């Protein structure tokens, strides 16, 4: 009962905060609808407004020429993968849920199988990301660690089916691919003769 009460309180606190912080976004949404522009809300403070056939991203009152709107998307892994998937781009199977929702996690793992990846929704530089989670025991360990990183077990995280392959970043401007880079860990290839430290100095 205590855990449910804490969850209800945390959820209500989040809703109250989002209602207050989302006021500017709601104002611009009302104005867009008044002018007959279709509006799609993707978070409490972010919308996509279609103006003359072009989808324009707004965060609060910051429009598509502001980086604030796009930062909202790239900093939200769940939202970003949802929008990417809608463009018929393949993404790993995933589920977005609270750390405490263990039953839903088990159902997801039974469906996709181990190994999986666990990650916070809005942290960067790999913080709190656990890869190759391949057992119930390791899952439990990682959930404890990620709870301490994000603050509490009521926060939502992403569980993803692990995908093995190369990692590329694509730089797109106004619908055109400008550059592609392959991400790889720093490594040293041995020659079978010299010691490792001799080849790195």
Q: What is the DSSP string of 33-46?
A: HHTT--EEEEETTE
- 201: helix, strand or coil: coil
Instruction: Pick the last residue of a domain from 74, 102, 131.
Output: 74
Q: Are 110 and 139 in the same domain?
A: yes
Residue 104 falls inside a structural domain: yes
Residue 13 has phi, psi (to 5 degrees) of -65, -40
* Domain span holding position 21: 2-74
Residue 61 falls inside a structural domain: yes
Return the top range by mean pLDDT from 77-81, 110-114, 164-168: 110-114
Specify the pTM: 0.72
Q: Are 9 and 67 in the same domain?
A: yes
Number of alpha carbons in the 13 Å side-chain half-sphere of residue 58: 26
Distance between CA atoms of 174 and 155, rounded to whole angstroms? 34
**CATH number of the structural domain spanning residue 121:** 3.30.1490.20
Residue 178 falls inside a structural domain: no
- 6: helix, strand or coil: helix
Residue 34's pLDDT band (boundaries 50, 70, 90)? very high
Residue-level pLDDT at 130: 95
Q: Are 157 and 99 in the same domain?
A: yes
pLDDT tens-digit series, residues 56-68: 999 988 888 888 8
How many domains are there within the chain?
2
What pairs with residue 141 in β-bridges?
Answer: none
Q: Are 60 and 117 in the same domain?
A: no
DSSP labels, 153-191: TTSEEEEEE---S-EEEEEEETTEEEEEEEE--------
In this structure, of 13-22, 97-106, 115-124, 184-193, the range with the lowest mean pLDDT score is: 184-193
Residue 171 falls inside a structural domain: no
Mean pLDDT of the chain: 87
What pairs with residue 16 in β-bridges?
Answer: none
Q: Are 68 and 118 in the same domain?
A: no
């Amino acid at each position: 009962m205590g855990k449910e009460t804490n969850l209800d309180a945390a959820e209500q606190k989040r809703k109250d905060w989002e209602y207050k912080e989302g006021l500017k976004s709601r104002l611009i949404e009302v104005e867009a609808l008044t002018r007959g522009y279709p509006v799609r809300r993707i978070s409490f403070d972010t919308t996509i407004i279609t103006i003359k056939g072009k989808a324009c991203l707004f965060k609060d009152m910051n429009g598509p020429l502001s980086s604030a709107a796009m930062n909202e998307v790239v900093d939200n892994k769940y939202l970003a993968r949802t929008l990417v998937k809608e463009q018929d781009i393949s993404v790993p199977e995933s589920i977005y849920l609270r750390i405490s929702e263990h039953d839903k996690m088990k159902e997801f793992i039974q469906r996709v199988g181990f190994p999986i990846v666990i990650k916070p929704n809005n942290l960067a530089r790999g913080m709190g990301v656990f890869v190759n989670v391949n057992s119930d025991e390791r899952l439990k360990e990682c959930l404890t660690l990620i709870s301490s990183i994000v603050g509490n077990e009521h926060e939502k995280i992403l569980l993803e089916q692990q995908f093995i392959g190369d990692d590329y970043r694509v730089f797109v401007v106004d619908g055109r691919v400008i550059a592609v880079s392959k991400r790889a860990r720093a490594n040293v290839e041995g020659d079978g003769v010299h010691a490792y430290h001799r080849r790195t100095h």
